[in-house]
Amino acid sequence: MATKLILDNVELTHEFFEDTRLLGIMAPIKDYQFAWQLNHLMEVDFRINNDIEIQLTRKKRNYFFAVYDFHEKTASLSHYLYNNQFDGEYLLPEFKHLDFLWLMKGDAVEDKMLQDYISAIKTVTGVQLVTELTNEKIKNKEHLIF
């Protein structure tokens, strides 16, 4: 008799989001233009990573949400920039007003450092809003796991 393994999404989600910080960004511009501007203004190196692209199936259709990543050379901190929209669907439907999500993972991000990121992002042309999203506010956390 075959054994059926069940994936514990609650535990998986908890582990994935341990020691993370998440920013929501309203910037109605193309994802590649936004990544390019961030790279030039903030001296980061976001690049699209098709291996961790998020695919969701809704209404019998597949939706693909681009993910850009950047790994700091001098620390274990990794940055992930998610596109929250694809063809009228949302990665996090509870945040339809947000265009991008910036996840920082792998190392502690102090409040001062986070505020520095927020201030820098606000200088990008087209950015209208930058806000921190706490884990309690996110209903569909599992959509961010790659």
Q: What angle do CA 63, 69, 70 make, to 5 degrees?
A: 170
d(CA 113, CA 102): 14
Which uninterrupted H or E stretch holds 67?
A: strand 67-71
Q: Domain segments of the chain: what residues?
A: 24-144
Q: What is the pLDDT of residues 61-111, one digit of tens each?
A: 999 999 999 999 888 999 999 999 999 999 999 999 999 999 999 988 999
Q: Going edge to edge, which strands form the sheet with 20-26?
A: 47-48, 67-71, 78-83, 100-105, 20-26, 129-132
Kindly report the pTM of this predicted structure: 0.86
